[in-house]
Structures are given as structure tokens and as C-alpha cells.
Amino acid sequence: SGAGKNILYLEDITVSFDGFKALNDLTMYIKTGELRCIIGPNGAGKSTMMDVITGKTRPDSGTCFFGQTLDLTRLSETEIATAGIGRKFQKPTVFPEHTAFENLELAMNDAKGTWHSLFTRMSGEQKSWIEETLAQVGLLDDRHKVAGLLSHGQKQWLEIGMVLMQKPQLLLVDEPIAGMTRQEVERTGQLLQSLAGKHSVVVVEHDMEFIRSIASTVTVLHQGSVLAEGTMDQVQNDPKVIEVYLGE
Ligand code: ADP
Ligand code: MG
């Protein structure tokens, strides 16, 4: 079985901006199918780490492998997305004039990389895949609503759905619950948990209560490297972590 196998291998990654090391010998592994949360103070290197994984930023040194053989530092952003790494940014970028259904249809066509439009006839299989994804992100009942009229939380879920249309093996999610209501936060936690297993999910988040509720493994970044890793209880009781957070 594939249990416990890694899907992502970041080793000794260093990224400098004008001599300042945003990532400093970062080594981290993500297991296939796991849900992982990345926390750390502002400027710890969380976004830079996501940028390295998605090919937006090239490391000065170190290696970044997806699976055993795919060297991400040699691929373009598009090639990395095609290889199975999807990223949901903090700010939703849905098409507000189009319905939830059409947004997923556009994302599906985009992922295929060939020219399609909303007027291109879709197969029954594609239609049911879109409907399954809408159900998965809790938007089936609102599928004919234009995205501009969805709540903030629903827009975030729609965008997760759009990334899912790329069929990513690894899904990167940046601050998913910012600005959400309590109820939306709870549903987002359930959604992320439901995605794990089928996908590997890496979430950058600040909200400790939320991270505890989804019970993922937590990696604490500080000054561009891993400060601690473990369960929420383990990292919250780690003296190194306490020092960094109280010293903020
Ligand atoms: P986080 O997401 O954990 O808040 P970032 O990865 O955004 O941290 O940033 C890490 C550090 O690198 C910060 O000090 C930030 O100012 C710096 N940094 C990030 N991107 C750039 C850039 N393009 N140019 C210069 N400095 C940058
Ligand atoms: Mg950031």
C-alpha cells in the first residue's frame, strides 16, 4: 500500500531576496493523502515555500521533488500545475458574472489546455463530474447562481472546486477561513478533511482553534526553516514555539 509514502520532498531549500534568506535550509516532507497545516509568524516564509512548490520562485539551492522523480525546480508553473499541484490563493478569483456551474466548467476547460468555451458541448461524464464537485464543495443547490451573488465563504469553496477540476494530487490552500462566519469555518474544516486521503492537502493558516479542529499534523516555520512539527498539542507545548509566539 501507499500508506506513509511521501508525495513532496523539500530538502535544504534556500531562497534569498537581496541577501535576506526568506527560506533558510528548509527541509520538509508531505505524505501522500495527508492534511498538513503550516503555521508561523509573519515573514516566516510560508508564502515563499508555496511559491517554490508551484514554481513561482526558484530556490538558490536545495531540491524540491514531487513524487520520487519529478524535479519541480526544473519545471514551469504551468508544467507543475499539469503535473498535479493545485493552488488556491487567499483572494477568490471566481468569474462573478458566471454561475457556480459555469465557473467549474471554465476551470475544467482551462485545465484541459485546449480551446473550449461555454458553447462547446460537454459530455454527460463531464457534466456529472462538475455536479459531483459542486456537491463536494457544498454548492450543488446554488449551482445556477452567479458567483458574484455567493457569500464570501461560498466563493472560497467555489474556488477550491475550480482547483479540483485540475485533478490535483497535491492541493495548496492559503488562509482558507479568513473573513468567514463561524458556520462557514466549520464547513471549510469538514471540506478540507474530506479532500485529504484522495488528495494531499497543505494549508497555511493562523487560526489555532481551526487547526486543532481539523486535527492535522502541524509544521511551524520560523525564519525560513522548520522550528517544530507534530500534533497541535505537541507544537503548542514546545518551548521553542512558545518563545517565538510570545516574542512576537
Ligand atoms: P509569510 O508568508 O510566512 O508571512 P513570506 O514567505 O511572505 O512570509 O516572506 C518571508 C520573508 O521574505 C519576509 O521577510 C518577506 O518580506 C520576504 N520576501 C518575500 N517575498 C519577497 C520578495 N519578492 N522580495 C523581497 N523580499 C521578499
Ligand atoms: Mg504569507
CA dihedral of 147, 177, 193, 108, whole degrees rounded to 10: 30
pLDDT in tens, 145-203: 999 999 999 999 999 999 999 999 999 999 899 999 999 999 999 999 999 999 999 99
pLDDT at residue 2 in the model: 47
Where is average pLDDT lowest: 67-76, 83-92, 161-170? 83-92
Helices (H), 137-181: 152-164
Q: Which ligand is nearest to the CA of 16?
A: 1
State the chain's mean pLDDT as an integer: 92
Residue 115 CA, ligand 2 centroid: distance in Å:
34
CB 207 within 8 A of CB 213: no
Query: Which atom of ligand 1 is closest in space to residue 41's alpha carbon?
Result: 3
Residue 212 CA, ligand 2 centroid: distance in Å:
20
CB 221 within 8 A of CB 39: yes
pLDDT of 118 higher than 90: no
Q: Compute the distance between CA of residue 247 and CA of residue 117 in angstroms, rounded to an integer.
A: 53
Identify the band that residue 12 occupies on the pLDDT scale cut at 50, 70 and 90: very high
**Does ligand 1 have an atom closer than 6 angstroms to the CB of 48?**
yes
**Does ligand 1 have an atom closer than 6 angstroms to the CB of 22?**
yes
Instruction: Determine the residue of 18, 21, 47 to mutate for testing ligand 1's pocket, defined as the one with the most ligand atoms within 8 A of the Cβ atom.
Output: 47
Identify the band that residue 4 occupies on the pLDDT scale cut at 50, 70 and 90: low
Residue 174 CA, ligand 2 centroid: distance in Å:
8
**Does ligand 1 have an atom closer than 6 angstroms to the CB of 46?**
yes
User: Position of cell 492541493?
Assistant: 171
Instruction: Determine the residue of 48, 49, 221, 223 to mutate for testing ligand 1's pocket, defined as the one with the most ligand atoms within 8 A of the Cβ atom.
Output: 48
pTM of structure? 0.92
Average pLDDT over residues 200-225: 93
Locate the domains of the chain by residue range.
6-246
CB 192 within 8 A of CB 36: no
Three cell numbers, residue 106: 471554465
Burial of 188 (0-12, 13-18, 19+ CB in 10 A): buried
pLDDT of 112 higher than 80: no
**Does ligand 1 have an atom closer than 6 angstroms to the CB of 42?**
yes
Strands (E), 49-140: 61-66, 70-71, 85-88
**Does ligand 1 have an atom closer than 6 angstroms to the CB of 175?**
no
| Ligand 1 atom 7 nearest Cα | 47
pLDDT higher at 215 or 226: 226
Q: Which of 3.30.750.24, 3.40.50.300, 3.30.420.40, 3.20.20.70 would CATH assign to domain 6-246?
A: 3.40.50.300
Rounded to 10°, the helix 152-164/124-136 angle is 140
pLDDT at residue 88 in the model: 87
Three cell numbers, residue 128: 456529472
Three cell numbers, residue 57: 520562485
